Amino acid sequence: MGTETLDASPTLGVLYGRALLTARSGGQTLPDRQLELAGVRIDASLVADYDHVCGFAVGGDVPPTYPHMLAFPLQMRLMTDREFPLPAPGMVHLRNVITQVRPPLVGEPLRVAVHAERLAAHPKGAQVDLVTAVTDGDGAEIWGSRSTYFVRGATAPDGDQPSAPPEPDPHVGRLPHAVWTVPGDIGRRYAAVSGDVNPIHVNGLAAKAFGMPGTIAHGMWTKARALAALAGRYGPAFTVDVVFKAPVRAPSTAWFHTAAADGGWDAKLVSPKGRDHLLLTLREA
């Protein structure tokens, strides 16, 4: 696999426009290259803004979901390539697995690298994984993730692909530990701090055009909000696996269930009617 080194982080607004232009193109195989961005430094003021939107304490460690925002523009750059086999418009985030060795530090130089793998059929379309590695100045990987994206109605080439590990199976009690009130503007607020201006999160008409009931919260906001609720109950090294089930409408109310598990925590976000929004397992290293 070759490496393409970028001079600067791509602009997500431009990439979403590019996605509309390349929606009908596409090759048969995934790009045989990774994108990398070196010398990335996390800004304390931007982390503080992110903390406010997602519920983390300002001034603590860089949240474990924050590096996803460093990687997502590179992911979008790959997925909006004219030869990428799946169209980016309407792409849905199905699953996100983060493995953290230690939190990145504000101001330290980081290298972010992203590649695509595991293009596979899905019962309702096709899916692909975007894999990220964040390394420190000594070349040690301190944070990694695997994001699985799905496109309804798309097709994947025939052929065996490595199977995904079993989905998280959290075991929680019947009664919730918190009731979330999801604001109607959470999509716009999260877009402001993350740059992720996907129309399904910020525009009701666009969301309905892509089959959503209305504007929905970003999946990574729900994951971040869940980890913020668990803050102080896990150490710096862990793997947290989340499956995004039913979309979280904005505005809406949801019930958050948690339970201590062997080596970590289990959690669910559930609608008042009992429909799963998010399944989470966190296991410390």
**DSSP string covering 148-208:** EEEEET----SS--PPPPPPP-----SS-SEEEEE-TTHHHHHHHHH----HHHH-HHHHH
**Single pTM value for the model:** 0.95
Tell me the pairing of strands 264-270 and 252-261: antiparallel
Q: How far is CA 161 from the centre of its chain?
A: 22
| Three-class DSSP category at 215 | coil
Burial class (CB in 10 A: 0-12, 13-18, 19+), 21: exposed
Question: Residue 53's closest CA among 178, 212, 247, 185?
Answer: 185
Residue 20: predicted pLDDT: 74
Beta bridge partners, 257, equal 268
Domain 168-285 fold is: Thiol Ester Dehydrase; Chain A (3.10.129)
Question: Residue 120's closest CA among 143, 94, 145?
Answer: 94
Q: What is the pLDDT of residues 34-83, one digit of tens each?
A: 999 999 999 999 999 999 999 999 999 999 999 999 999 999 999 999 88
pLDDT over 90, % of the chain = 80
pLDDT over 70, % of the chain = 98
Q: What is the pLDDT of residues 107-163, one digit of tens each?
A: 999 999 999 999 999 999 999 999 999 999 999 999 999 999 999 888 887 766 777
What six digits make up the tokens of 165?
Answer: 């590990």
Count CA within 13 A, CB hemisphere, residue 171: 4
Q: What is the pLDDT of residues 236-252, one digit of tens each?
A: 999 999 999 999 999 99
Going by the DSSP 8-state scheme, the letter that residue 247 receives in this structure is -
Residue 285: predicted pLDDT: 95
What six digits make up the tokens of 98?
Answer: 């983060």
Backbone phi, psi, residue 133, to 5° = -130, 130
Query: How far from 263 is each of 2, 149, 260, 282, 283, CA to CA, in Å?
Result: 38, 28, 8, 8, 5
Provide the pLDDT confidence category of residue 90 given band limits of 50, 70 and 90: confident
Residue 198: predicted pLDDT: 87
Q: When comparing pLDDT for 179 and 29, which is higher?
A: 179
- The class of domain 1-157 in CATH terms is alpha beta
Mean pLDDT of 179-196: 96
The H or E element that residue 39 is part of is: strand 33-40
Question: Residue 217's closest CA among 166, 178, 263, 253?
Answer: 253
- CATH 3.10.129.10 domain extents, the chain: 1-157, 168-285
Provide the pLDDT confidence category of residue 278 given band limits of 50, 70 and 90: very high
Indicate the average pLDDT of the chain.
94
- For the cut 70, the answer to whether the pLDDT of residue 84 exceeds it is yes
